[in-house]
Structure formats: C-alpha cells, structure tokens
C-alpha cells in the first residue's frame, strides 16, 4: 500500500541530513557564533541510517537526498552513499552541497551511486559570497563545480537563494552563467525558518521570473526534474531551463511528497510546522523492520496540510540547518 498522508498525498522523497555541522554561516541559514550542534553520540550511525532508509524504501520512498548542514563534512560519506544506493527500492540518490569540499569527493560520490547534485551558489562575486556565507570560499565552490562536471554529474543544479537588497541584482547574470554551461538554475524564495531566515531580505520571485522570461525567451515547461518543488520555465528552443521555488508567493503544499530526517533521527513532517517523530529510540531500542515500517506510517499521519509562512512567519524557531536542508 502506498505511503500516504491524511490528505491523500503519496510520500516518495526523503531528505536525509547526515550532519548539522557546516563550514559556512550563510546569513539565512545559521547565525554566526552558533554552537548548539547535536552531539556525535546522538547522530544516527551508518547502520541505523541504512536500516531506516531501507524501511522507507520498502514503503515506496525511492528518492533520497543527502543533506546537512554540509553533508561532505560527515566522514566517509561516499561509503554511506554506496550503501544507500545499493538498497532495493532506492532508485534516485542525490546530494545537496555548498561545494567547498566537493573537489575532493566528486569522483568518489559518483562512483558510489550519487547521480545528481544541487550546489548552493548565491552570487558570482567573491566578495559578496564571503559576506553572505561568512567565509571567503568562492574559489573553492567554483573548483567543486568544475570537479562535479569532470566526474560526469548531469544535471547539475545551482541553487540561488534570492534576497532583496543582497543579491537580487545579479539574478540575470546567474541565469546566463548557468544557461551557458548547461546547469539548471533554481531560484529560491527565502523562508522565515529561524531568526536568520526572518532577518533575510525576503523577496517574491514573480517579477524576477517575468524579467528572466523576457531576456532569455523562457516559457512554462511541464518538466519534473528530481521530484522537488521547483516550477520550471524553459528556453523556447529547448536549450536550458530555470526553476522557481516559491514557498511564500505560490506554495506547493498540495503536492508535497517529502519529509526530512535530521541527523539525530528526528523526522520533520513540514519545514513550516512543528510536527515531528523520533526514530532514534526505536532504532536503539531493538525495533524490528516491521515495527520501523509501522512507525513510519504513524509518523506520516502527522504531516500537516500546509505551512503558515505568511500567516505565522515567526512560528519556527529552529534554524534551517537543524531541520536538514
């Protein structure tokens, strides 16, 4: 029986955080000086992750994305990737990364079975990147992107969180950069998750979408690329596309097919709500596979109908990095 929530949505996509640590401090994600990280003893082990992902896969959740924090800070991540890629039912394994470590790991990740990458890049300007990310790492990110190309990753998606008064003036430059290189640009509205998210320059993407459509001759496209929430616009000649992720101005809750598992085994059912389910006690308490699968079905029943980012922007106090990207 498909894994469905109370509203008839079929869950097929698990975003799996393997660490809440990050080597950057992006202004909308994690505050400078933050030190409230999970203790390593509370992280799910590779064995626990494999068991739990296997249970999700048996219930029809075939898409798994490795996230963080910055997932490449988790030691031996390609080993875990290989174990997950080999699980029956996992048919799409992908990774979100800030790419600062990617030049050292791209080939191993590809060999392990990761097929798609989402790379965060909020600006093409080195000084601005340092201001947004809290670290001068722009050259490392570009080197990571080059290594991903050399390793054969295709498609490569570039995620740009658009902030008014911060980087919205270079959206067209970023689109040209990505379209020229065959990357898929995804523009993302800043979400009010934690104090950092609320303090960022929130901007609705509608006017930018119209501007990009005129400049690059984009038309709405019926594309489904990776099972995520982006709505894609494609060049009329088919030579490239740009995705728009609009949780504020045009939410996609009615078709939400995903849940997020934090590094400590907490399953969050919605970015904009507090419903959650703790799996670590079950995993460390001797639960068998049937009990894990039953617990997953109970957890999915908690998934709310929609977020309340507009109505209650101050509701979520946890930071994005604590939830999992």
3-class secondary structure per residue, 88-107: CCCCEEEEEECCCCHHHHHH
For the chain, give the number of residues. 325
Instruction: Provide the 3-class DSSP secondary structure of residue 146.
Output: helix
The pairs formed by 122-127 with CB atoms below 8 angstroms and a separation of 24 or more are 122/26, 122/160, 122/161, 122/163, 122/167, 123/160, 123/167, 123/170, 123/174, 124/170, 124/173, 124/174, 124/177, 125/170
Handedness of CA 257, 91, 323, 109 (dihedral sign): negative
Digit-coded pLDDT (tens) for 182-191: 999 999 988 7
pLDDT the model gives residue 247 = 73
- Which letter does DSSP use for residue 224 in this model? -
249 exposure class (CB count in 10 Å sphere: 0-12, 13-18, 19+): middle
Handedness of CA 17, 20, 25, 30 (dihedral sign): positive
pLDDT-derived band at 198 (thresholds 50, 70, 90) equals very low
d(C-alpha 33, C-alpha 192), whole Å = 20
Averaged pLDDT for residues 55-61: 98
d(C-alpha 52, C-alpha 72), whole Å = 20
Do the Cβ atoms of 155 and 225 come closer than 8 Å? Answer: yes
Do the Cβ atoms of 69 and 114 come closer than 8 Å? Answer: no
Percent of the chain with pLDDT over 70: 88
Q: What CA dihedral angle connects 260, 155, 204 and 223, to 10 degrees?
A: -90
User: Which of 138-142, 213-217, 267-271 is predicted with the least confidence, judged by mean pLDDT?
Assistant: 267-271
Greatest mean pLDDT among 21-25, 146-150, 230-234 lies in 146-150
pTM: 0.91
d(C-alpha 59, C-alpha 81), whole Å = 20
- Residue-range domains of the chain with CATH: 13-323 (3.20.20.70)
């Amino acid at each position: 029986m498909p894994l469905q929530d109370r509203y008839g949505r079929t869950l097929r996509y698990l975003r799996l955080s393997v660490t809440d640590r990050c080597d950057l401090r992006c202004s909308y994600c994690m505050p400078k000086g933050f030190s409230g990280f999970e203790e390593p003893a509370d992280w799910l082990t590779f064995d626990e992750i494999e068991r739990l992902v296997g249970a999700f896969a048996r219930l029809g959740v075939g898409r798994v994305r490795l996230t963080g924090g910055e997932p490449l800070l988790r030691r031996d991540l390609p080993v875990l990737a290989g174990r997950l890629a080999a699980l029956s039912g996992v048919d799409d394994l992908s990774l979100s990364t800030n790419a600062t470590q990617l030049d050292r790991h791209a080939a191993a990740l590809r060999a392990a079975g990761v097929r798609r990458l989402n790379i965060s890049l909020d600006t093409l300007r080195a000084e601005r990147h340092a201001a947004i990310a809290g670290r001068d790492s722009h050259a490392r990110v570009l080197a990571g992107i080059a290594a991903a190309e050399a390793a054969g990753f295709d498609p490569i998606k570039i995620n740009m969180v658009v902030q008014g008064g911060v980087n919205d003036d270079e959206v067209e430059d970023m689109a040209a950069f990505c379209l020229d290189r065959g990357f898929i640009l995804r523009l993302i509205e800043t979400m009010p998750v934690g104090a950092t998210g609320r303090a960022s320059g929130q901007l609705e993407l509608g006017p930018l979408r119209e501007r990009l459509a005129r400049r690059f001759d984009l038309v709405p496209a019926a594309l489904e690329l990776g099972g995520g929430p982006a709505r894609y616009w494609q060049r009329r000649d088919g030579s490239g596309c740009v995705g728009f992720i609009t949780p504020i101005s045009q939410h996609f809750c009615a078709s939400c097919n995903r849940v997020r598992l934090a590094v400590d085994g907490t399953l969050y059912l919605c970015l904009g709500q507090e419903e959650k389910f703790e799996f670590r006690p079950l995993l460390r308490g001797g639960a068998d596979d049937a009990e894990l699968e039953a617990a997953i079905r109970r957890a999915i029943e908690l998934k709310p109908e929609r977020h309340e980012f507009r109505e209650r922007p101050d509701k979520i106090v946890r930071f994005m990095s604590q939830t999992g990207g």
